């Protein structure tokens, strides 16, 4: 097959040569399109991530984070397990955990400290108007308290409350953060709450705090064998950045509930 004609001015494509060049150009276009598609598929992530956290963090931190993450990665499904207990990640209970408290030390886990979490004493606006708002540990003992039971009772805020006001009247207890907040808002009494849950509620008044020396750390925990999975890596990096943006709220540095009545 002859592809070129030799002329005085140089080489000129024959009809067969022109057809071959057109075919080559189409192949090049298709190859570039394939490369772009392959690259996009390589960047796209999919699959299931199983995440666990407690009730407070699930509602305020995790829910908006999941919504934003899904907009970026719509082919990833996130299964959220809400439990006050620390589920065993090493046995596959979850891929990722957002926890509060002491640094996880279990073998096979990787933990990243994200932010401190502050605690303070709160009451409702109605309670403050009727009975006053405790302004110190000494005055706290003269108020009726709402306590915690179950797993959340071991958290630093309620441990401090039991030690700081051992003789105070406890009128109710609950194992649910949601129920505790509802009880405080109803005017039942005073309790200790994480600042990030209460400061954003206009019906609650911060009375004492953030309480010095009483804080929890928020930890992002991952199984070693899961952190290099692309969808898990993408999620933990996204969640870490999301929590960093919420640091002032979690650390008790901002919020409308700070003002006393």
Q: Are 83 and 58 contained in the same domain?
A: yes
Q: What is the pTM of this model?
A: 0.75
Question: What's the domain count of the chain?
Answer: 3
**SS3 at position 191:** strand
Q: Are 105 and 168 contained in the same domain?
A: no
Token pair of 93, please? 């209970």
The tens-digit pLDDT sequence of the chain (261 residues) is 665 566 666 666 677 656 656 655 664 555 454 444 434 444 689 999 999 999 989 989 999 999 999 999 999 999 999 998 888 888 888 999 999 988 888 888 999 999 999 999 999 999 999 999 998 888 888 999 999 999 889 888 888 988 888 888 999 999 998 999 999 999 999 999 999 999 988 999 999 989 888 888 999 999 988 878 899 999 999 999 999 999 999 998 865 444 443
What residue numbers bound the domain in which 105 lies? Answer: 47-116+215-250
Size of the chain, expressed as the number of residues it contains:
261
Q: Are 28 and 143 contained in the same domain?
A: no
Q: Are 129 and 186 contained in the same domain?
A: yes
Q: Are 77 and 196 contained in the same domain?
A: no
The CATH number for 225's domain is: 3.40.190.10
Q: Are 35 and 52 contained in the same domain?
A: no
Q: Are 87 and 195 contained in the same domain?
A: no
In the chain, DSSP assigns E strands to: 4-7, 10-13, 47-53, 76-82, 96-101, 109-124, 145-148, 170-174, 191-194, 204-208, 215-223
């Amino acid at each position: 097959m002859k592809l070129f004609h030799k002329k005085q001015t140089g080489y000129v494509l024959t009809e067969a040569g022109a057809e071959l060049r057109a075919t080559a150009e189409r192949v090049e276009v298709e190859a570039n399109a394939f490369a772009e598609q392959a690259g996009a598929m390589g960047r796209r992530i999919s699959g299931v991530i199983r995440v666990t956290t407690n009730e407070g963090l699930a509602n305020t931190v995790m829910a908006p984070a999941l919504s934003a993450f899904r907009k970026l990665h719509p082919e990833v499904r996130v299964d959220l397990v809400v439990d006050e207990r620390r589920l065993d990640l090493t046995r596959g209970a979850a891929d990722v955990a957002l926890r509060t408290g002491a640094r996880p030390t279990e073998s096979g886990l990787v933990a990243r400290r994200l932010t401190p979490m502050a605690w303070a004493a709160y009451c409702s606006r109605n309670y403050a108007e009727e009975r006053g708002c405790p302004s110190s540990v000494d005055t706290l003992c003269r108020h009726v308290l709402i306590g915690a039971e179950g797993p959340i009772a071991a958290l630093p805020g309620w441990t401090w409350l039991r030690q700081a006001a051992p003789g105070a009247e406890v009128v109710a207890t609950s194992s649910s953060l949601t129920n505790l907040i509802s009880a405080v808002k109803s005017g039942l009494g005073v309790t200790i709450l994480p600042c990030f849950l209460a400061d954003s509620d206009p019906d609650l008044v911060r009375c004492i705090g953030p309480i010095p020396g009483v804080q929890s750390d928020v930890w992002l925990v991952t199984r070693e064998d899961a952190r290099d999975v692309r969808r898990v890596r993408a999620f933990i990096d996204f969640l870490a950045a999301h929590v960093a943006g919420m640091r002032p709220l979690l650390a008790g540095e901002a919020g409308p509930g700070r003002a006393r009545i």
